[in-house]
């Protein structure tokens, strides 16, 4: 056990990561040595930032807590604290089942941890954080919460209603990041496209992105977690006109059958979805779309699933993920629908839809062979430098592998890379020139 060291373990999404980074800055200002996701957990204090979205995420969080409880019993760590979505949602149950944890804090009450450590929250650092990602990119959370209330989603139960940050605060935050060498901004929110409606009375995403694009030092801006209903189409003009805004959009669609979209309370039809996708591709030529689909939601028939498969083949998403429905307590679906589709059917459908996408992803990557693309270098790994194009978000999308034997490259720098080979999820290339 290392005295005066705090180890922070972050589970779940990049929004949780931002919370952990803010906590780390506060702890550092209190004189602690702070480590994030260390290989070996050995701090005097350990904090687990949990996820509670679906069954698999909850299981991962609980298992992590159980492992650390055992570490505490063995005397390898000192105090153990839990924060984040899981403890926001199930705090009473966790306190009863795992009393060995020294304190539980919700999604928005982690500041109380400082008080319990006998430390004061530093208001001068409220917008500051320790960046845990490579120093050239960072996540920026533009809002919290969600007003959509889709049938299956427990997130509004944990995060509450949508709350946008002001444009002034966000511009200040990004300017501070740029001054520290950050070149690439991943804008994130549970619902990016609702941004501004709560404080300005209308969507302000397009204006926000233009203001961020004007900040010196920022070279790439990428948009995550758009919602198709009430999509603010003026953002498409910004994406087309602003060279700093990546031709990339992450928009979870969940399904295409109007029957299922209605069951899911998504407020959009199949026809409207197809029309929106067509308009996005027309207004932003070359855009790469990432989406997420769900299989096995209550009421999904074989006909619905066949329609979904046909949609995947027709839409040809450059990036796609999928997951099986999880019957989450407190959601509309939990209260009003029976979880009648057997788990093995859900998994069969999940495997089938992802096999279709694998072929599409391989074809799209093959089309890039011979092209020269701008690539930012993230890290060195074995015999390769590993980078990404503007069409790839960290950790979830393709990477570009460049042999180290071809010459030294600088991490965080841009290079023009000719793509020489491709497989389903990675590209291989050689540097043509800087920038």
Buried b / exposed e over 226-240, threshold 16 CB at 10 Å, is: bbbbebbeebbebbe
In angstroms, what CA-CA distances link 94 with 55, 58, 98, 362?
A: 16, 12, 5, 44
Distance CA 219, CA 227 (A): 25
Q: Are the CB atoms for 150 and 265 separated by under 8 Å?
A: yes
Beta strands in 93-205 (DSSP E): 103-104, 137-141, 143-144, 163-164, 184-188
Instruction: Note whether 134 and 411 are within 8 A (CB).
Output: yes
Q: Collect all residues with Cβ–Cβ distance below 8 Å to 81 and sequence separation of at least 6.
A: 45, 46, 47, 48, 101, 102, 103, 104, 105, 113, 116
pLDDT in tens, the chain (435 residues): 678 889 999 988 888 899 899 999 999 998 989 999 888 888 889 999 988 777 777 888 888 899 988 888 888 888 999 998 888 888 888 889 889 999 999 877 888 888 888 888 888 888 788 999 999 999 999 999 999 999 999 888 888 899 999 999 999 999 999 999 999 999 999 999 999 999 999 999 999 999 999 999 999 999 999 999 999 999 999 999 999 999 999 999 999 999 999 999 999 999 999 999 999 999 999 999 999 999 999 999 999 999 999 999 999 999 999 999 999 989 999 999 999 999 999 999 999 999 999 999 999 999 999 999 999 999 999 999 999 999 999 989 999 999 998 789 999 999 999 999 999 889 999 999 766
Q: Which residues pair with 25 in a beta bridge?
A: none
- Residue 3 CB neighbour total at 10 angstroms: 9
Alpha carbon distances (Å) from 7 to 27, 34, 35, 82, 326: 11, 6, 5, 12, 31
What does residue 309 show for φ and ψ, rounded to 5 degrees?
-60, -45
pLDDT in the model for residue 1: 66
């Amino acid at each position: 056990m290392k005295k005066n060291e705090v180890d922070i373990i972050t589970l779940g999404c990049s929004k949780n990561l931002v919370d952990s980074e803010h906590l780390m800055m506060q702890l550092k200002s209190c004189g602690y040595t702070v480590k994030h996701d260390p290989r070996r957990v050995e701090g005097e204090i350990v904090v687990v930032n949990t996820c509670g979205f679906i069954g698999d995420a909850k299981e991962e969080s609980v298992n992590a807590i159980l492992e650390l409880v055992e570490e505490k019993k063995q005397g390898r760590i000192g105090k153990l604290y839990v924060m984040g979505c899981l403890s926001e949602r199930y705090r009473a149950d966790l306190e009863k089942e795992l009393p060995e944890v020294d304190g539980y804090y919700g999604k928005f009450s982690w500041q109380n941890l400082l008080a319990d450590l006998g430390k004061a929250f530093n208001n001068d650092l409220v917008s500051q954080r320790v960046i845990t990602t490579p120093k050239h990119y960072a996540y920026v959370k533009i809002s919290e919460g969600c007003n959509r209330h889709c049938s299956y989603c427990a997130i509004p139960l944990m995060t509450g209603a949508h709350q946008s940050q002001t444009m002034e605060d966000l511009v200040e935050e990004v300017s501070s990041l740029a001054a520290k060498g950050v070149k690439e901004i991943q804008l994130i929110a549970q619902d990016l496209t609702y941004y501004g409606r709560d404080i300005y009375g209308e969507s302000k995403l397009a204006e926000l992105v233009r203001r961020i694009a004007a900040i010196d030092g920022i070279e790439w801006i990428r948009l995550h977690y758009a919602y198709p209903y009430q999509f603010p189409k003026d953002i498409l003009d910004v994406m087309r006109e602003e060279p700093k805004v990546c031709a990339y959009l992450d928009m979870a669609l969940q399904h295409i059958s109007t029957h299922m979209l209605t069951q899911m309370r998504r407020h959009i039809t199949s026809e409207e979805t197809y029309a929106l996708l067509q308009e996005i591709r027309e207004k932003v030529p070359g855009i790469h779309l990432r989406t997420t689909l769900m299989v096995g939601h209550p009421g999904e028939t074989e006909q619905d699933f066949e329609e979904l498969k046909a949609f995947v083949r027709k839409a040809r998403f450059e990036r796609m993920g999928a997951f099986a429905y999880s019957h989450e307590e407190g959601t509309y679906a939990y209260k009003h629908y029976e979880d009648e589709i057997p788990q093995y059917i859900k998994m069969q459908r999940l495997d089938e839809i992802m096999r279709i996408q694998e072929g599409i992803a391989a074809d799209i990557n093959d089309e890039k062979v011979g092209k020269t693309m701008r690539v930012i270098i993230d890290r060195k790994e074995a015999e390769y430098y590993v980078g990404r194009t503007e069409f790839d978000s960290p950790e979830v999308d393709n990477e570009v592998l460049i042999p180290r034997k071809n010459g030294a490259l600088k991490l965080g720098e841009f290079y023009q890379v000719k793509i020489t080979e491709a497989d389903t999820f990675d590209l291989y290339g050689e540097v043509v020139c800087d920038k």
